[in-house]
Amino acid sequence: MKLSRNIQRTGIIVLVAIIAVLLKYWDYVVNPWTRDGQVRAEVIQITPRVSGPIVALAIKDNQFVKAGDLLFEIDPRTFAVSLDQARAQYDKTGDSYLAQQKQVEAAEAQVNVSRASIQQAQSAIQEASSAIAKNEAEYLRQQELLPERATSQKAVESARANYEVVLEKRKGAEASLLQARAALAQSEADLAEVRASLGALGDANASLREARAKVEQAELNLEFTKVRAPVDGYVTNLNLRLGSQAVANQPALALVDVSSYWIDGFFRENTIEDMRAGDKAIITLMSYPDKPIQGYVDSLGWGIAQQDGSTGFELLPNVSPTFEWIRLAQRVPVRIHMAEVPEGVALRVGTSASVLVMTGTAKDSDVSAPPAPAPLR
C-alpha cells in the first residue's frame, strides 16, 4: 500500500513536471523553430583602385573602424608625378588653344579686310562708270562742235584724254574687284582651316576636355592611393603588410558592416506554411543562451539548390538512381531581422543561432520572449 502511494506521488510529480515544461515551452510546440540558424552580415571586399606598394598600414586584424577611416596607403609618388604631367599637358593644350584662337581672330579680320576691299572696288567701279558716261558725252559734244568751229581741236583732244582716263580707272577698279574677290576666297579658306584646327570653342573644345579629363583622372588616382573604410565595421582576414604589393581591382581585405546584421534560419519545409513576413521571431545565440533577441521575419527564400538535375553526359540531367525510404524535409532559408540587440551581445558572422517564429503575429505590436531551448553543445 505504501509502495502504491509512492508510485502515485511520483507519477503526479512527473505529470506536473511535464505539464510545467509544456506550458513553459508551449510556443515551441505550436510554432516553427529551428536550431539551424546563423548570424549573417554584409561583408565588403575592400578593393584598391590603383596598384603599388603599401607604405602605410593604419589597421590591425579584427579592428573596428568608422566610415572614412584610413585603412592603408599605397605609395603616392608615381601618381603625384602623373598628376604633374597631366597638369602640364593641360596648360600646354590651353596655350595652344589660345594661339589657335588668335589665328582664328586674325583670319576673321583678314576676311573683313577682303570684304571691305570688295566694297571699295565696287564703289570705284560705280564712280568710274558715272565718270565714263559724263566724259563720253563731253567728248562726243566736242566732236560735234569741231566742224562748226565752235570748239578747238585742243578741247577735243582734252575731252578724249579725260574719257580715256576714266576708262582706265574703271579697268583698274574691275581688276581690283577681281583681286579682292580672290583674296576673300583665300581668306575664307584660311579661316575655315584654322577654325577646323581649333575645334569647338570654350568648354566644348575636345582637346581641352581631353586634357582636363586626364587631370581629373590623375587627381582621382592620387586620391585612390589612400584606401578608406566605406562603412562602420570590423576588419577581418587582414593579410596585408608594409611593402607588400596592392593590385588594382583585387580584394585586399574584408570589412564586416556592423549596420547590416541579420539571421538566416533554415526551417523544415513542412513548418513554414503559416509563416509570413512580419511575424515576430525570437533569436537565441549559442554564444549568449540567456539573452534572447527580438526580431521579425524579413523574407522567406524562394529556392534552394538541387542535388539532382545538374547537366551531365550529352547535356542530359544527372539523376541519382537511389531512393531513400525515409524522406527528409528540405531546409528553406528564412531571413530574420533583429529589432534590437541586447547590451553585451557581440554579433559575429557565421555563429550559430536558434530561431522561433511566432506565426500569425505579423500585425501584433508586442510579443514577449518565451524561454529559449538550451542550445546544442
CATH code of the domain covering residue 358: 2.40.30.170
In which residue are the cell numbers 547535356 written?
A: 315
pLDDT of residue 376: 42
pLDDT of residue 42: 95
- What does each C-alpha distance from 159 to 152, 156, 221 come to in angstroms? 11, 5, 87
171 assigned to some structural domain: yes
- Specify whether the CB–CB gap between 74 and 228 falls below 8 A: no
Same domain membership, residue 374 and residue 263: yes
Residue 360 Rama label (left phi>0; alpha psi -120 to 50; beta): left
Hey, what's the cell of 226? 589612400
pLDDT of residue 153: 75
Same domain membership, residue 362 and residue 240: no
Same domain membership, residue 214 and residue 242: no
**Cα separation, 274 vs 271, whole angstroms:** 8
Other CB atoms closer than 10 Å to residue 327's CB: what's the count?
7
Same domain membership, residue 86 and residue 56: no
Same domain membership, residue 367 and residue 239: no
Same domain membership, residue 229 and residue 97: no
User: 207, 233, 250 — which closes off a domain?
Assistant: 250
Which residue from 88, 53, 98 is spatially nearest to 73, judged by alpha carbons?
53
18 assigned to some structural domain: no
88 assigned to some structural domain: yes
pLDDT of residue 121: 77
Same domain membership, residue 54 and residue 92: no
pLDDT of residue 139: 61
- In the chain, how many domains are there? 3
Residues of the domain holding 238: 48-75+225-250
Hey, what's the cell of 9? 506521488
The partner residues of 300 in beta bridges, in order of sequence, read: 334
The partner residues of 296 in beta bridges, in order of sequence, read: 280, 337
90 assigned to some structural domain: yes
Same domain membership, residue 366 and residue 322: yes
| Alpha-carbon dihedral 129, 131, 137, 138, rounded to 10 degrees | -160
**Cα separation, 56 vs 60, whole angstroms:** 12
CA 101 to chain CA centroid, Å, is 35
Q: Coil, helix or strand for 9?
A: helix
140 assigned to some structural domain: yes
5 assigned to some structural domain: no
Statement: the pTM of the whole predicted model exceeds 0.75: no
Same domain membership, residue 291 and residue 188: no
In which residue are the cell numbers 581741236 written?
A: 153
Same domain membership, residue 270 and residue 167: no
**Cα separation, 336 vs 299, whole angstroms:** 7
- Specify whether the CB–CB gap between 344 and 291 falls below 8 A: yes
**Residue-wise pLDDT tens for the chain (377 aa)?**
555 666 677 777 766 666 655 555 556 667 899 999 999 999 999 999 999 999 999 999 999 999 999 999 999 999 999 999 999 998 888 877 777 777 777 777 887 887 888 888 788 778 878 777 787 776 677 676 767 766 677 776 777 777 677 777 778 777 777 887 887 788 777 767 776 766 666 666 778 888 999 999 999 999 999 999 999 999 998 989 999 999 999 999 999 999 999 999 999 999 999 999 999 999 999 999 999 999 999 999 998 877 666 776 667 777 676 666 667 788 999 999 999 899 999 999 999 999 999 999 987 544 444 454 444 43
Same domain membership, residue 186 and residue 96: yes
- Specify whether the CB–CB gap between 329 and 268 falls below 8 A: yes
pLDDT of residue 369: 46
